[in-house]
Amino acid sequence: MTVWAEKPANNDAELGRQLLGTWVTEPTEKNSDRTTATYHANGTGEEEVHIGKGADVKIIRLTTRWSVIDGKLCLDSVTSSNPKMIPVGLKLKDIIVSISNDRLVLEAFEGYGSGKGTRATRVRKPAPKQGEQVVPSDGHKPSSSASTAGTAAPADAH
């Protein structure tokens, strides 16, 4: 008798839907790097990566194109505020180990060099409440004439 394994509950399209929104590095994560990543339904995204700690922290802002292929989050950097550290055109792949409404576990798969296999846990950042102003992580509030519609916190590269 042949027994077939069940197909995983999450196909690529469903994983993509579950990724939509903003994810931040879990506060208890031991890695000093912090990331905020936002994934949009049109396959674009933003990331803000904080590398290092204290006075030595470097903040890099990225725009990305993303997709889910074979259970992997595939990211291509489109723009980078520091192309020497994170170059434009960098391609990364992360295995989506698990995802729920509020928690995402990724495992570095491709493009990370010696970091391959490293796991990162992110938690979903709640969307701003109606009428709440989005303040960028640099602490500068947008001018009162600026619209906050469509402004989301940048997303995390890893």
Backbone phi, then psi, for 113, in 5-degree steps? Answer: 60, -125
The pLDDT of residue 105 is: 95
For 12-37, give one letter per residue: b (16+ CB within 10 A) or e.
eeebbebbebbbbbbeebeeebbbbb
What is the sign, positive or negative, of the torsion defined by CA atoms of 118, 124, 125, 131?
positive
Distance CA 87, CA 8 (A): 34
Distance CA 40, CA 6 (A): 30
**Ramachandran sector of residue 111 (left: φ over 0; alpha: ψ -120 to 50; beta: rest):** left
| Alpha-helix runs per DSSP H in the chain | 12-19
| Number of neighbours of residue 73 by Cβ within 10 angstroms | 24
Distance CA 66, CA 74 (A): 5
Q: How many CA atoms lie within 13 A of 63 on its CB side?
A: 6
The pLDDT of residue 79 is: 98
Along the 158 residues of the chain, how does pLDDT read in single tens digits? 444 444 444 699 999 999 999 999 998 888 778 999 999 999 999 999 999 888 889 999 999 999 999 999 999 999 999 999 999 999 999 999 999 999 999 999 998 777 888 899 999 987 666 665 554 444 444 443 333 333 333 344 44
The pLDDT of residue 64 is: 98
| Domains within the chain, CATH numbers bracketed | 12-124 (2.40.128.280)
